Amino acid sequence: MSWLSNLTPPGIKNMFKRQDSGDSLWVKCGGCGEMIFRRDLEASLQVCPSCNHHMKISVAERLKHLFDGGIYETIALPEPVMDPLRFRDEKKYVDRLKENRKKTGRNDAMEVAAGSIEGLPVIVAVQDFDFMGGSMGMALGEALIKAAEEAVARRRPLVVFTASGGARMQEGILSLMQMPRTTIAVEMLREARLPYVVVHAHPTTGGVTASFAMLGDVHFAEPGALIGFAGPRVIEQTIRETLPEGFQRAEFLLEKGMIDQVVHRKDMRQALSRLLRVLTKTGAVATPARPAIEMERPKAAGGGERAAPVPLDKAAE
């Protein structure tokens, strides 16, 4: 920022200052510091063209890019009791909720959608970091359970994009209870033998990481995403030393065996499609998008422990 403050006249400085207001023309990259034209950034999915730094992408942008033709169906989510503890700190929790609802236009920190990725029908849940830091409370728990139920009912894989600071403290123990509750959602998918993929976006920490985010069949992560149980500051306070560069970043977790791949945002659609098509025994994209799974017949009449293969999108009909 120093070159700006030193060299630019006040008028221009103010223009740059407006960078976070959402409608300025330029955005400063948090990675390399370069100023990027906002329209270019939108075209590159909020990834810096110079250094590949992945910035925050809105839920709507992500879904639009992910699904074929940008078309998807939004799944209605349950609305649990608002403010069960009648919590207030320096501000009332209900007021915080109202503010965040107004700011984001959504009821809580997760959106669930149905659509197709390269022709393959999937259910996708996305955490919204802009809604109280993507924190996990009752609404988020119910949203994930709903996403899993929808995936099971429609016989589709579930992909969850995580981004969360952790628990919704204002819901106290009921927030903590979302750890086992979302784990139950994952178990529903396991029992139905449906693929469950987690994509860790920046940042994914706390109770979210320590529940559904670390239980995927496959874990992808966006480059540079911070992923961990405890936040770096808490760790540094505990061990009284400074953590090395890159600690808890996606690349570090890849090295430690906690995630399967670091995937650039622009490649995410293809990576998910490739993986899910193989796991669901669906033909490759190049061939007609007809589920190849129909070709396989149950080995014994009457089933056995393995359910007869059903075309993934047909079972619910």
Partner 1 sequence: MRTYLEFEQPIAELEGRIADLKQMDGVNVSEEVQKLQAKADQLLADTYARLTRWQKTQVARHAARPHFSDYVKYLVEDFTPLAGDRRFGEDAAILGGPARFRGRSIMLIGHEKGSDTASRVKHNFGMASPEGYRKAMRLMDMAERFHLPVVALVDTPGAYPGRGAEERGQAEAIASCTEKCLSLGAPLVSTIVGEGGSGGAVALAAANKVLMLEHAVYSVISPEGCASILWKDAAGKGESKAPEAAEAMKVAAQDLLELGVIDAIVPEPLGGAHRDIPLTVERLGDAVETAIHELEGMSPDELRAHRRRKFLEIGRAGLA
Task: Assess 154 for contact with partner 1 (CB under 8 A).
Answer: no
Phi, psi dihedral angles at 92 (to 5 degrees): -75, 140
* Distance separating alpha carbons of residues 302 and 304, to the nearest angstrom: 6
Task: Assess 172 for contact with partner 1 (CB under 8 A).
Answer: yes
What does 257 interact with, of Zn ion, partner 1, none (CB < 5 to 8 A by kind)? partner 1
Task: Assess 53 for contact with Zn ion (CB under 5 A).
Answer: yes
Q: Considering only residues 29, 160, 192, 226, which one is a binding residue for Zn ion as defined by CB under 5 A? A: 29
DSSP H stretches of helix in the chain? 2-7, 10-17, 38-43, 59-66, 93-104, 138-154, 172-176, 178-191, 232-239, 250-255, 268-279
Task: Assess 48 for contact with Zn ion (CB under 5 A).
Answer: yes
Question: Quick one: tokens of 109?
Answer: 């920190």
**DSSP class per residue in 271-309:** HHHHHHHHHTTPPPSSS-S--GGGG---SSTT--SSPPP
- Residue 32 assigned ligand-binding role: yes
Q: What angle do CA 72, 193, 282 make, to 5 degrees?
A: 60
Binding mask 232-271 for partner 1 (x = CB under 8 A): --xx--xx-x-x---xx-------xxx-------------
What does 32 interact with, of partner 1, Zn ion, none (CB < 5 to 8 A by kind)? Zn ion
Question: How many residues lie near partner 1 (CB under 8 A)?
Answer: 52
- Residue 49 assigned ligand-binding role: no
Report the largest interatomic distance among the alpha carbons of the chain, rounded to a whole angstrom: 79
Question: Quick one: tokens of 250?
Answer: 């996606």
User: Which of 26, 229 has the CB closer to Zn ion?
Assistant: 26
Residues that bind partner 1 (CB under 8 A): 80-81, 84-85, 87-90, 138, 141, 145, 167, 169-177, 179-181, 183-184, 186-187, 206-207, 209-215, 227-230, 234-235, 238-239, 241, 243, 247-248, 256-258
Binding-site positions for Zn(2+) read 29, 32, 48, 51
